[in-house]
Amino acid sequence: MSLSRRAFLADATAAAAVSKAAAAAATAAAAATATATAPPAAAPPPAHPGKSVTIERIDVFPVRYPVIGRFKFFERPDGRPGGRAAVLVRITASDGTTGWGQSVPIPRWSYETQETVLTTLRNHLIPRWIGRDPFDEQGLARELDSAIAPSFSTGQPICKAGLDLALFDLTGRLLGQSAAQRWKLPGSPTVTLSWTLNPRHIGEVEDLVAQGRARGYRHFNVKVAPDPRADLELCRLVKRLVPDGFLWADANGGYDEATALAVAPKLADIGVPVLEQPLPSNRLTGYRRLKKLGALPILMDEGIVSHVELQEFIRLELLDGVAMKPARCGGITEARRQIEIARDAGLLVLGSGLTDPDVSLAASLALYGAFDLKYPAALNGPQFLEGSVLRTPFTVTRGELAVPKGPGLGVEVDPSRIEPLTDRDA
């Protein structure tokens, strides 16, 4: 696949059809629940195209999905899989309509944990939204940033993403619109996936590639760093096994500058089309040198949380593209904004994820499907996770996932399916 700097296809198939919103009276599962009650006389919401409703209550459900195989971010110190912790968020409007979201912390990837998500939602964020107009998008976002202030960038974005997704789902249902319809984008009916390879040693690679191919995957993303010799051997082997696949290397900030400058041209020679997050997020002069070297496009992932630093880093000429993740950015609303900024600047946009289960995965599919991203998306929840809270769980077919067609995030949560996944230690 040749690598164009134009990250979007101009033509795409028509947007998905709308179906009626459901789940107006979902019963609470046996999970820990944080609830606040609306004030008795909430001010009437301003005029908007949807219904005049207020946010009546918000419930949270800590869950843990079993992990299949090995993914380094979910290993316990003793090497055993620890499960994928998450927190489901349900917003109920005053007319009974519900919207679902999901916070997906990975403490070995960034600083948020399931515990911090729960306490921040219950004690700081949820009380700010009760009684508010769900269509006051900017006012609600300001409340979140006021309650948990930014540090270098947005504070606790993964936690906040759970609320943003639930709000987007709720308002989409009230409007009767999918993401693509809401944003007036043609959209795509499917998203092509990339299979993640993070072998302990080179001897595992052939089998791991075969596992992906057996499930219909044609594209692979590899975890590299800190050992460049092992990384080059890994990429050479994967390129030999899958010569036509899109082979995307992600260092998760694991190289130092000298190593990254040395390995980038060698990865390019092998046919690796992009190098994601080669350095820690705060090594800005290193990014500038890597981009200037021009061996291959340099993407940032961990380094971009809000659109503010994205714009700053574009001006500073630090990057050629972004690996998007709604969870990392504080939700789908901010992620959409960043895609538009990156697209306008001529940057590459690759769809990525945080091993998203269920609802978080639905949000990524809604976003990437709406923008019809050109390259395969590293959405590896279906690869590494078991279990689902959805009435109709996602199924990968020929290495692709269908973009949900309904309003909001397009999926229906079955509350009875939460109980088996409930994290009772949370």
Q: How far is the CB of 299 from Mg ion (least distance, A)?
A: 8
Question: Which residues 252-271 are close enough to bind Mg ion by CB under 5 A?
Answer: none
* 164, 169, 250, 356: which one binds Mg ion (CB under 5 A): 250
Candidate segments 82-90, 197-205, 250-258, 261-269, binder of Mg ion by CB under 5 A: 250-258
Q: Is 7 helix (H, G, I), strand (E, B) or coil?
A: coil
Question: Does residue 301 touch Mg ion according to CB under 5 A?
Answer: yes
Q: Can you give the three-state secondary structure of 79-126, one letter per residue?
A: CCECCEEEEEEEEEECCCCEEEEEECCCCCCCCCCHHHHHHHHHHHHH
Distance CA 342, CA 311 (A): 8
**Which tokens in the block code for residue 213?**
């191919």
Question: Does residue 356 touch Mg ion according to CB under 5 A?
Answer: no
Distance CA 114, CA 396 (A): 27
Distance CA 308, CA 316 (A): 12
Residues that bind Mg ion (rule: CB under 5 A) add up to a total of: 2
Q: How far is the CB of 349 from Mg ion (least distance, A)?
A: 13
Distance CA 334, CA 12 (A): 23
Candidate segments 9-17, 43-51, 109-117, 300-308, binder of Mg ion by CB under 5 A: 300-308
- CB of 88 or CB of 161, closer to Mg ion: 161
- CB of 182 or CB of 283, closer to Mg ion: 283
Residues ≥6 apart with Cβ < 8 Å to 51 = 95, 97, 174
Distance CA 181, CA 214 (A): 34
Q: How far is the CB of 213 from Mg ion (least distance, A)?
A: 22
Candidate segments 35-43, 247-255, 335-343, 360-368, binder of Mg ion by CB under 5 A: 247-255
- CB of 143 or CB of 301, closer to Mg ion: 301
Residue nearest to Mg ion (CB): 301
Q: How far is the CB of 287 from Mg ion (least distance, A)?
A: 14
- CB of 53 or CB of 224, closer to Mg ion: 224
Candidate segments 80-88, 125-133, 139-147, 299-307, binder of Mg ion by CB under 5 A: 299-307
Candidate segments 55-63, 82-90, 297-305, 418-426, binder of Mg ion by CB under 5 A: 297-305
Distance CA 111, CA 120 (A): 13
3-state helix, strand, coil in the chain (%, to 5): 35, 15, 45
The binding site for Mg ion (CB under 5 A) comprises 250, 301
